[in-house]
Amino acid sequence: MNPAPYAYLRGDFVPLDQAFLHVSDLAIQRGYGIFDFLKVQDGHPLFLDYYLDRFYQSAELMELAVPLPRPELEAVLRQLIGRNNLPLSGIKLLLTGGYSSSGYEPPAQANLIITQQPIALPTPEQLARGLRIISHEYVREFPAAKTINYSMGIRLLKRLQALGADEVLYHQQGSVTEFPRANFFIVRPDDTVVTPAANVLGGITRRNILGLSGRPYRIEEGPVTLHDVRQAKEAFLTSTTKLVMPVVQLDDHVIGSGQPGRVTLDLLHALTQLEQQQLTQSYA
Ligand SMILES: Cc1ncc(COP(=O)(O)O)c(C=O)c1O
């Protein structure tokens, strides 16, 4: 493993420990920017097209221009992966507002930064234990965009720790949306799998779960309330790094049996298979 990975910063490859931005960047001055995060497994970026679609969509939603056309961005990504040789890693594509002399008006050029660092997947122990979550009323300002603003999630970390909880689930007047960094699903008493449709980021793992076919239960988008969660047989979250992770408690209510459920584990298996298929296609 390469101990000093390279990053791509404003047009150049530089060692990560020398990847700096100037303080006039609107990300620093005003929290203005977007990003995306994808997984590299055995040296292959998984579901790359989906992540690049979302990256360009977030940029457009936030009125930011990606300085590279898509084929060039993809070429840079592959060059970085080749240089760094980090078999299991995460790639972060970051597009910040750029260097602004007024500290407010965006300049013509946004700053593109790409980093790659090793990641760890959930352990069997974490999976077997599941997550305890708390609810909190909040909606992100631009739910469809993957912006860099995680102030609420970060501000709540101390509360999570004090309560011995793992994650916070956002809702609006009892209508559940998402976690700060993951999407949410429940398994209803009739075995239908549902994920909230409104005010959420289009997670790529969520998309992959919704796209699964041939299961003996339905998987759909729709409204989910806190009451639905308390009535659910199972619940789980999805994200690029956490895959499918069981949720066993919401506030002081134990969900279902309080153990990772059958449908949740079946979907984790199906997702892992889908990732393996992608890898096989990459080698073909
Ligand atoms: C707000 C939000 N929702 C959901 C997700 C999960 O998306 P994905 O499955 O693409 O990792 C993320 C990922 O960071 C996120 O930031």
What pLDDT sits at residue 282? Answer: 80
Residue 41 has pLDDT above 80, yes or no: yes
Cα(204) to ligand 1 centroid in Å equals 7
Q: Check pocket membership of 201 for ligand 1, CB cut-off 6 A.
A: yes
243-268 pLDDT, tens digit per residue, is: 999 999 999 999 999 999 999 999 99
CA-nearest residue for atom 3, ligand 1, is: 182
pLDDT of 3 reads 62
Sign of the four-CA dihedral 57, 58, 64, 66: negative
Q: Where are the domains of the chain?
A: 6-118, 124-278
**Could you tell me if the CB of 96 is within 6 A of ligand 1?**
no
pLDDT at 113: 98
Percent of the chain at pLDDT above 70? 99
As its CATH architecture, domain 124-278 has Alpha-Beta Barrel (3.20)
Ligand 1 contact, 116 CB (< 6 A): no
Which CATH architecture is the domain 6-118 placed in?
A: 2-Layer Sandwich (3.30)
- For residue 2, pLDDT over 70 is answered with no
Query: Given this chain, do its domains 6-118 and 124-278 carry the same CATH topology?
Result: no
Beta bridge partners, 95, equal 34, 112
Which letter, b or e, does each residue of 59-87 get, where b requires 16 or more Cβ atoms within 10 Å of its Cβ? beebebebbbeeeebeebbeebbeebebe
Residue 193 Cβ inside 6 Å of ligand 1? The answer reads no
Provide mean pLDDT across the span 226-240: 98
Indicate whether residue 240 lines ligand 1 (CB < 6 A): yes
> DSSP assignment, residue 16?
G
Per-residue pLDDT reduced to its tens digit, 201-223: 999 999 999 999 999 999 999 99
Question: In ligand 1, which atom is closest to the CA atom of 200?
Answer: 3
Q: pLDDT tens-digit profile of 98-119?
A: 999 999 999 999 999 999 999 9
93 within 8 A of 66, measured Cβ to Cβ: no
Q: Average of pLDDT values for 15-32?
A: 98
